Structure formats: C-alpha cells, structure tokens
Amino acid sequence: MNCRSGCKTKDHETYGQCLSAANIRTAATMNNPTASVVKNELSAYRSARANGIQPEGTTMNKVKEAESASRALGRPYNADVDPPANMIVNKNTARFVNAGA
C-alpha cells in the first residue's frame, strides 16, 4: 500500500505521489537556540531605548553596561557622547563624566 489513509483513489505508485496528489506540503523548521538569545537581547535593547538609554550595541552585555552607567550617572547613558560605558564604574567616574557634559 503506497497511499496515505485519507487517499480517495488509493492508486498511486508511491507514497510521495499520493502526497503530491493531495497537495500536501511540508515545511522544515529548525530549533535555533540562538533565536531566543537574540530575541532577549533585542527586547532588552528596546527597553533601554524606551528609558532614554543609548547603549553602544544591541548585545546583552552592552545593554547591561549602559544601564549600569546610567545608574552611576544618575541620567540615561548616551554612547554617542559619553565615554565607553564599561569605564563608568562608580559615582566618582560618573562625577567626572557629568562635569564634562
């Protein structure tokens, strides 16, 4: 028996011909473990931008550095005008950055 159980004619030479005649399509899906990582990173980036923070990049590390720098600065971090976020590590460095702003 080369046909699927729902085949009306049951006269196909191969199972593939039966599927083709029924116009059944298959779709390949991939379990991509990095997709959720990228989704989480972009979500964190969007959240930071919504809070006025401009990280140096979209990776989780860059977003966390920008959020930490924002807490130290007492204002949203802006990668376009502020020094690298990983250099703003405490209130003392933040004071010097804010003094130059």
Q: What average pLDDT does the chain have?
A: 89
In the predicted model, what is the mean pLDDT of residues 12-18? 89
Residue that wins the pLDDT comparison between 29 and 57: 57
pLDDT digits (tens, 9 = 90+) for 90-100: 989 999 999 87
Q: Kindly state the average pLDDT of the residues 58-83.
A: 95
pLDDT: which is higher, 26 or 42: 42
What is the pTM for the complete model shown? 0.65
CB-based burial, 63-90: b 16+ in 10 Å, e otherwise = bebbbbbbebbebbbbbeebeebeebee
Measured distance CA(53)–CA(47) in Å, rounded: 9
